[in-house]
Structure 1
Amino acid sequence: MAWRKEIQGLESNNAVTAVGAILLLLSFYKTSYWFIFLGAFLLVISRMSIYYLNHVADHLIFENEKESIRLSVGEEIILPLKFSQFSWLPIFQGTLKIKLEAIVEGLGVPFTSHENNVEFKFPIFVKGQETIQVSLPLKATARGVTRIKTVELTVGNFFGLGSVQLKYNPFIHKELIVYPSPTMVSQTDRLVAARSNGDYSSPSSMFEQFLAPIGTRDYIYTDSFKQIHWKASAKTQALQTKVFERMADNSWTFIINLREANTPHIHLGVVESLESIASNVAYLAQLATQRGIEFEVFLNLRMVNQSAVYHLPKGCGTRQLGKVLDILARVNKKGNTQPLNKLLHYVEKKQQNSPVVIFCGPFPDEKHKYIAQMLKNGQRLFILQDDNQYPAIVPLGRI
């Protein structure tokens, strides 16, 4: 069943039933219309009360469609909650309790905070055969993700005896995603070259654009067989190799290490500076989006249904920005971090050799083998100094 029921006051109603039955029995020995009326009245009231408490939730539906509501810290929203009572039994004396993570607070609605949760209580009234929508005004106060953890409805018996507490059993799919507040990072001009929008021609680049041949040259033994231009070779009676335009790009790679340095256990050690890292990376991702720069993200925190190292492939635009902000909202100190070596090994296998690499969190030195390889590849390495007051971009080795 959708609702788990806990009925209070059944004993009282059963006692009233017993009193009513006794009064009816007494009326057979001593004829009294008062005994008959009172006994019948108590029997009807008590049995109707028991029926109401047992069946008021039989056809009560809470709309539980999958929905993700995204907002930023400080933003206000109305959280809609829809209830449908398909039974003829009304709910007159209902009290609704909603429990969320303590990353939001109520606006004009009384609430209580307990540990990491915030609870809201307010009256609810639903007629029989009616659908209502309860609007819960909220304000986001901290980065994070919360689904509705608990929906509880306490329904008082409108005859006055007893109540039933209903707790919604199924997993609730509605969730709130609160994005981090971007914190401005200084010296970002170091990341942005003069040609910062997309790919551009660069004769010194290591990469060739195979969809942009610009001519041919004489074949040499180190050329790939696939690069031979057969038509040109037939005309010149000598093997000719295609020459492609060399391209460069200004994409960024974020390598986010959330593992505290010298942490021996794989499941512990999320950095204390998690909030500042999330805010700084959010700012840099917004900057990249504004400038049309592609970027990818590596993160050594196991996400839901993901591998031990999370990887967001290279992309750009508002859709890519939204994915990054979603991830930054979901990271928390309860996750399982992976060692830095495992993160960098994964990066070496998966990264697309962006010319700009930004390390976030505890970082290795230049002598680390994976760092040395990136420098050998010609990549420019930077450190995000995630200082709470003055975050900045600093070239690796100049801190």
Structure 2
Amino acid sequence: MIQWYRFSNSSNKGLYYTTYILLFLIIIAFLANLLLILFIFISCLIILLLHSYYFKIAGKGLDIVNVKQKSFLVIDNEGKWKIKIINNGMPILKASIIMTFDQSVLPKGFPYRINHGLVEITIPFIIWKNEEKEILIPVIGNKRGKSQIREITVRIPHLYGSGYVDLTYQHLINSQILVYPKRNPVHISDFVINNKQGLQDVKTSLFVDSMQPIGVRDYFSGDPFHHIHWKASAKMQTLQSKVFSPIASRGWLIILNISEHYSINARLEEMISQAAFIIDYALKEEIPFSFAVNVRSFGSTPFYYLQEGSGAKHRQAAFEFLTVLSFSSLLFPPIQMLSILKNEELPSVITFLGSETIETQKVLQEIAITGRSIFEVNNKGVLKQWKQKNIAV
């Protein structure tokens, strides 16, 4: 399989004509029996021929170790691109690597230029025969999004300034850096949720798991008769009541509607940053969450839907999706998304971000009637109880 596309760019034809001129001068010097001059002309010709031969084979045996890599940054944090090159061919001198990648990250300490959203950077390097070299390019998070290495070209200049040879890598580079969104603070300190019946362990709750006792305590007047632990009572010679684990339904469903009328909401970045803050809050408070966005998907649901989960890996899955959301994302009708979610086993708390229409409000009201608490983020960044609004048709 061909690794490189080879392109030779000769800026002048001086060397081409010089070869024929030297041949002509060698013939004259030979006929004139000028041995010293003949030796000089032959030496120059040999150097030119070796030079031409070198640039026909330079780069053969050069390979990039294409290892799949994915790293994560936040804006203004530092990371690095890592390129590993192996040369099993001729030494490559005075060469440079020209690399282009998406603008979500910018090089640190290297000059660069930006063209149509792609960053181009040139790095000089030398690699000898049978040498393995690792090139590290420090970068800094610039803006939310995914940055991938789009192209790598090794440029080998002609020794006499007559042009260069470009070797462009033909395969996809499996390296990418995801720059997570910023967190716009959402005021949640006054956010009071009454736990509902469920199966998740919590610190305090009105509900307990009567099937899983976790200990015993002294009997108090009013304890249910069937909660008495008879074996423990016989052993302790006093009545003992079973202690059960407090349980409740604590899950959140975070719904992000990025559409407004028939286009994407101009507040996309702000809403993404607020959703990221709420997800971080859920992780900190150990609250399981699910996440729905009205963007078309080819999974089990026609829109993006992250099933309920918890922990750092679950947060990472949500953040990876938030990272790649853009104004070119393919929208899914929000009313259809809510209608599908309405028939799911929804958690007790639903947080809605985005614009609303009369149709979406009707579905949200239908969900609220089932006993779910619906909250929304207002223009001041405060999470408050959702209420129906008067919206002009």
CA distance in 1, matches of 2:84, 2:95: 15
1:282-331 superposed Cα distances (whole Å, 9 cap, x missing partner):
11111111111110011112368786411111001111111111111111
- Aligned position for 1:219: none
- Tell me whether 1:286 sits opposite 2:276 in the alignment: no
Residue 164 of structure 1 and its aligned partner are, at CA, apart by 0.5
CA distance in 2, matches of 1:304, 1:127: 48
User: Do the aligned partners of residues 128 and 160 (structure 1) sit closer, same or farther apart at CA in structure 2, a change above 3 Å counting?
Assistant: farther
CA distance in 2, matches of 1:178, 1:153: 27
User: Do the aligned partners of residues 369 and 39 (structure 1) sit closer, same or farther apart at CA in structure 2, a change above 3 Å counting?
Assistant: same
- Aligned position for 1:346: 340
Which structure 2 residues correspond to residues 1-399 of structure 1 after superposition, within 5 A? Answer: 1-9=2-10, 11-87=13-89, 89-158=90-159, 160-187=161-188, 189-190=190-191, 192-193=193-194, 198-199=200-201, 212=211, 248-261=248-261, 263=262, 269-302=263-296, 308-349=302-343, 351-365=344-358, 368-385=361-378, 387=379, 390-397=380-387
1:38-93 superposed Cα distances (whole Å, 9 cap, x missing partner):
44223322222222222211111122211101111110123222211111x22211
Residue 202 of structure 1 and its aligned partner are, at CA, apart by 5.4
CA contact (8 A) 1:188 1:392 kept: no
**Partner-residue secondary structure (3-state), 1:128:** coil
Moved more, 44-53 or 190-199: 190-199
Structure 2 residue identity aligned to 1:117: L
Structure 2 residue identity aligned to 1:285: I
CA distance in 2, matches of 1:98, 1:306: 38
Residue 130 of structure 1 and its aligned partner are, at CA, apart by 0.8
CA distance in 2, matches of 1:76, 1:32: 66
CA contact (8 A) 1:19 1:39 kept: no
CA contact (8 A) 1:100 1:119 kept: yes
Structure 1 segments (4+ residues) deviating >6 Å: 194-197
C-alpha RMSD of the superposition: 3.0
Residue 352 of structure 1 and its aligned partner are, at CA, apart by 2.8
CA contact (8 A) 1:185 1:393 kept: yes
1:312-362 superposed Cα distances (whole Å, 9 cap, x missing partner):
11001111111111111111111111111222233234x431111111112
**Partner-residue secondary structure (3-state), 2:351:** strand
User: Do the aligned partners of residues 25 and 348 (structure 1) sit closer, same or farther apart at CA in structure 2, a change above 3 Å counting?
Assistant: farther
Residue 191 of structure 1 and its aligned partner are, at CA, apart by 5.7
CA distance in 1, matches of 2:264, 2:119: 24
User: Do the aligned partners of residues 304 and 97 (structure 1) sit closer, same or farther apart at CA in structure 2, a change above 3 Å counting?
Assistant: farther
**Partner-residue secondary structure (3-state), 1:135:** strand
Give the TM-score normalised by the residue count of structure 2: 0.81
CA contact (8 A) 1:198 1:293 kept: no
Residue 379 of structure 1 and its aligned partner are, at CA, apart by 0.9
| Structure richer in strand, relative to its length | 2
CA distance in 2, matches of 1:188, 1:362: 24
CA distance in 2, matches of 1:367, 1:274: 19
**Partner-residue secondary structure (3-state), 1:301:** strand
**Partner-residue secondary structure (3-state), 1:178:** strand
Structure 2 residue identity aligned to 1:396: W
Residue 148 of structure 1 and its aligned partner are, at CA, apart by 0.7
Residue 34 of structure 1 and its aligned partner are, at CA, apart by 4.2
Structure 2 residue identity aligned to 1:361: G
CA contact (8 A) 2:335 2:360 kept: no
CA contact (8 A) 2:335 2:359 kept: no
Q: Which runs of 5+ in 2 are unaligned?
A: 214-244
Count residues in correspondence: 353
Structure 1 residue identity aligned to 2:251: S
CA contact (8 A) 2:250 2:287 kept: yes
CA distance in 2, matches of 1:101, 1:305: 27
Q: Which runs of 5+ in 1 are unaligned?
A: 215-244, 264-268
Moved more, 101-110 or 4-13: 4-13
